[in-house]
Structure 1
């Protein structure tokens, strides 16, 4: 009798140990699934230098969950990304600091690429000067047109020619090339004519090159995305921009969010619908859109989208996946 009780007790203990081991194994499997270790492949992204920091940060966080996926992100400028990579079908995603042009959309569709547009945040395009510049502290759109307009190549080469109270020193100008969405936005919204821009300036797709040039030259000026300025506030100074009400408004996440800042603009990613058939691309886009309100966009230095916009993005993705038979 006593021996049978001992046997039953031992069997109970063995059973409990076995159940515990099974539970641990199941938890481990679920953990691996959550980390996405079963997904591999590559996600190819090119495009806007302004959106680049957001996408790069999203890729870094995504790789913590999906370490077998390679996300390659190139900063080529919005137009350069569309023209050289996305439209020919060489990339899955194009970062863009402006909406896709109708001509780009038509060309993409000719090549079998169907772009899906997702709004991922807002930027406050920032005009920067050297910290020693104590004259161009608040600029009107008229000032900016005088400096950057296509006619300025011949007539405006010195600060005093913009405003006689400013120093009689030669201006040195730095900005993005015509392949950039930042260039497109600036020419359309500031100069008033898409593509209209003086030619005698130093054009580059490297925003850090603009930062470095302005930081070392008291007579320099440039323009770029807010995130690059916020990252380098100790090296350069942001000029305030005069609003329609005549107020001088400083670029910031807060003034971009409120709409006070005159040079606030939307930021996008464009996804090749066909690329969503690839598990790595599908999961990355889903992760990207789900984390637009996680603090990543704000940490980079941009204005996040609203909750409603986030839901609209996810709904659009879901509809695309249903069309492809993936949901």
Structure 2
């Protein structure tokens, strides 16, 4: 299970972007999970643009390199993280002008195959890497690999704008809002309490192609493993997913929250404890227990001496520093907090973060 899901009450260290919170809630779907009592439903608020100060966001230490570094970095993997990799590379090069970078991001699930003979390859994955995967990949590429978290991505479950559903209830037993506590299978929209013409129509799940890290995350949150009869269609990228949901009244999908701002789709709120209903567009979503998060991972390789190549180690120090985490914030992601960073330092064998 993702560490982000185990710790959804962690303080929101923030997102450096404008977040809109303007959503009305329906308790109908929330009552389907068997919780007793009436959920407390907040009144819809006016759209409010909130710009969170970077000073209040990143708890990382300042970046203070000991000396200039030179070398070449190669980034592979997540298409979602491609712009982030570009921003990191540009910011890193401003401090270390003798470092060059190549960015070739074609999907998270292809990343480990692209570890080249050059030791300075960094694989970016928009999902958590399991210990079993890391062990197998290390054998496949004949290198000792280390996976670290670099941040988080807030996700949204989206439906067509005319879908009357406003919220889903989180089921902690299955870690999914698409699993009812009475074990009833969700096949049609009526199973989620929807009346009218949509009630007899089956849900159409719009998924990204398997080469992307979002695929396995979406399958988990939509509980497709326990719903083998579910209708699914595939799209090449998140923008195409949003367009497909906008054009299909019975569609449902999982996308990054910052991709779910279109007026043609609705981002569903999540009822987290039978009382609180949290929108992914709420600037305090994570702090309020919003559970739809995914880890953003970077995988690096040790050299023959069991150490990180100097240019890779210095890059890791940079992205785990305040400067690197602020770059992540600017690209619309949630940064690591101080305890998260300490865990990554330990994985890398560091005592303190410079």
TM-score range, shorter chain: 0.5 to 0.7
Label 1:65 to 1:202 Cα distance change in 2 as closer, same or farther (>3 A). Answer: farther
Taking the aligned partners of 1:173 and 1:207, their CA distance within structure 2 comes to 13
* Partner SS state of residue 262, structure 1: coil
Say which structure is richer in helix. Answer: 1
1:286 pairs, out of 310, 314, 317, with 317
Is structure 2 residue 214 aligned with structure 1 residue 185?
A: no
1:58 pairs, out of 70, 88, 96, with 88
Aligned to 1:9: none
Q: How do residues 1-327 of structure 1 correspond to structure 2 at under 5 angstroms?
A: 39-47=70-78, 49-66=79-96, 69-77=100-108, 79-82=109-112, 84-86=113-115, 92-110=121-139, 111-130=141-160, 132-141=161-170, 144-145=178-179, 155-156=187-188, 159-160=189-190, 162-168=192-198, 171-188=203-220, 190-191=222-223, 193=225, 200-229=231-260, 232-252=261-281, 254-274=283-303, 278-291=309-322, 294-314=325-345, 316-317=347-348, 319=350
Label 1:91 to 1:209 Cα distance change in 2 as closer, same or farther (>3 A). Answer: farther
| TM-fit CA distance, 1:128 | 1.5
| TM-fit CA distance, 1:121 | 1.7
* Partner SS state of residue 286, structure 2: helix
For residues 68-103 of structure 1, the C-alpha deviation after alignment (integer angstroms, 9 at most, x for no partner) is 5023140413x3323x33599898222234332344
| TM-fit CA distance, 1:258 | 1.0
TM-score by length of 1: 0.66
Label 1:144 to 1:312 Cα distance change in 2 as closer, same or farther (>3 A). Answer: closer
Aligned to 2:31: none
Taking the aligned partners of 2:300 and 2:331, their CA distance within structure 1 comes to 21
Paired residues of 1:34 and 1:65 also in contact (CA < 8 A):
no
Label 1:235 to 1:164 Cα distance change in 2 as closer, same or farther (>3 A). Answer: closer
Task: Name stretches of at least 5 consecutive residues in structure 1 with no aligned partner.
Answer: 1-32, 321-327
Of the two, which has the highest radius of gyration?
Answer: 1
Paired residues of 1:242 and 1:248 also in contact (CA < 8 A):
yes
TM-score by length of 2: 0.62
RMSD between superposed Cα atoms in Å: 3.9
Paired residues of 2:145 and 2:301 also in contact (CA < 8 A):
yes
Taking the aligned partners of 2:117 and 2:133, their CA distance within structure 1 comes to 11
| TM-fit CA distance, 1:316 | 4.3
* Partner SS state of residue 178, structure 2: helix
Higher relative contact order (CA 8 A, sep 6+): 2
| TM-fit CA distance, 1:119 | 1.7
Taking the aligned partners of 2:333 and 2:263, their CA distance within structure 1 comes to 18
| TM-fit CA distance, 1:112 | 2.1
Higher mean alpha-carbon deviation, 96-105 vs 274-283, is at 274-283
Tell me the number of residue pairs that the alignment of Structure 1 and Structure 2 aligns: 273
* Partner SS state of residue 201, structure 1: strand
Paired residues of 1:293 and 1:307 also in contact (CA < 8 A):
no
Aligned to 1:11: none
Paired residues of 2:157 and 2:255 also in contact (CA < 8 A):
yes
Task: Name stretches of at least 5 consecutive residues in structure 2 with no aligned partner.
Answer: 1-64, 172-176
Taking the aligned partners of 1:93 and 1:181, their CA distance within structure 2 comes to 16
| TM-fit CA distance, 1:164 | 4.6
